Amino acid sequence: MENFDQIESDILNKIKNVSNRNSLDSVKTEIFGKKGIITELFKKIGSLDQSQRKEYASKLNDLKAKITEILKKQVVNLGQSEINNKLKNEKIDITLPGRTYFAGRIHPVSQVIDEVTSIFAEIGFSVEEGPDVESEYYNFSALNTPENHPARDMQDTFYLDRSKDLLLRTHTSPVQIRTMLKSKPPFKIIAPGRTYRCDSDQTHSPMFHQLEGLHIDKNINMGHLKGCLYYFVKKFFEVEKVKIRFRPSHFPFTEPSAEVDIGYKIQDGQIKIGEGYKWLEILGCGMVHPNVLINVKVNPKQYQGYAFGVGIDRLAMLKYGINDLRAFFESDIRWLEFYGFDPLDVPTNYRGLSR
């Protein structure tokens, strides 16, 4: 019969002499692998004499259990000494400068769209979107704009394909039409988005942003329009009180129509919204024209409501003290780093109106 004591002490020596977990793995294979020492000993059982078999198998099983136990302990020991060595040898060099990381910035237009959306969401408006490439029908005709209206002029509007009636929308108002055509009243929506006109100077860019608002229900009147806009302006400019003026105006899709001005003054070279004796136009609005409701199959005798359109870029310029609109769209990273917003909602470069 095999000298199990000798085999045991040979194996234990091998295990003891190992200095890291990798070499322990190869010793394990040497012992328990396909052709390992113990594996081979097990293979022998079949060829043994009946009289020896029992004793041999029992000794071999004991040896296997003992070695397995010792291997386990050795894994733990080696793991510990490896980590201790690591801790001893790998010291952190605290004199190295920290790693800088670069976070992107939120563009003022995106920031204002988020702010405005959450302000209106609080009073029950949901958000709708429409395509930038529109048909003349949605952009003008359905909005009660006559064939000969100056806004339809090629000097003002980018036509893509006149034969197919395709143009870049000149305002977000076509989203009113799309929203009302796709479901039934009541409607209470806002629609932020890009708009386009042939225009370019310090306060006009050929591409700009608007926010449309539409509220249609039974018994909606101009008082609701006023209340809604007061609420919006106060929340947006973060002021307790604000002077607002409704000036009669004309839009083909509203009757009556108004333009809304807010009071402001210049103090220490900064614009202050809400106070003072100067007026600044911020939006167009009115009661939705019955013809528009008829065009979208809403009965104007049952349903009425108001609509408004605000220039988003204008709002951003006013709130954050930015005076050249063109810079908004020049994609200069230095500009964005200065005027942009921290993605974690902390306006670190907040250049408030009343700094």
Binding residues for ligand DAH restricted to 204-233, rule: CB under 6 A:
212
Residue of the chain from 142, 189, 273, 307 that contacts ligand DAH (CB under 6 A): 307
Of the listed pieces 14-22, 93-101, 301-309, 318-326, which binds ligand DAH according to CB under 6 A? 301-309
Distance of closest approach, residue 155 Cβ to ligand DAH, in angstroms: 16
- Distance, in Å, from the CA atom of 119 to the CA atom of 156, rounded to the nearest integer, reads 32
Residue of the chain from 196, 208, 237, 308 that contacts ligand DAH (CB under 6 A): 308
Residue of the chain from 111, 144, 173, 295 that contacts ligand DAH (CB under 6 A): 173
DSSP secondary structure code for residue 343 in this structure:
T
Binding residues for ligand DAH restricted to 230-259, rule: CB under 6 A:
251, 254
Distance of closest approach, residue 98 Cβ to ligand DAH, in angstroms: 49
Give 256-264's long-range contacts (Cβ < 8 A, gap of 24+): 256/222, 256/286, 256/287, 257/284, 257/285, 257/286, 258/284, 258/285, 258/286, 259/283, 259/284, 259/285, 260/229, 260/284, 260/285, 260/308, 262/233, 262/237
Q: Verify binding: residue 304, ligand DAH, rule CB under 6 A.
A: no
Residue of the chain from 174, 192, 274, 284 that contacts ligand DAH (CB under 6 A): 284
Distance of closest approach, residue 100 Cβ to ligand DAH, in angstroms: 44
Backbone angles phi, psi at 227, to 5 degrees: -60, -45
Q: Verify binding: residue 286, ligand DAH, rule CB under 6 A.
A: yes
Neighbours of 275 (CB within 10 A): 16
Residues that bind ligand DAH (CB under 6 A): 171, 173, 212, 251, 254, 284-286, 307-309
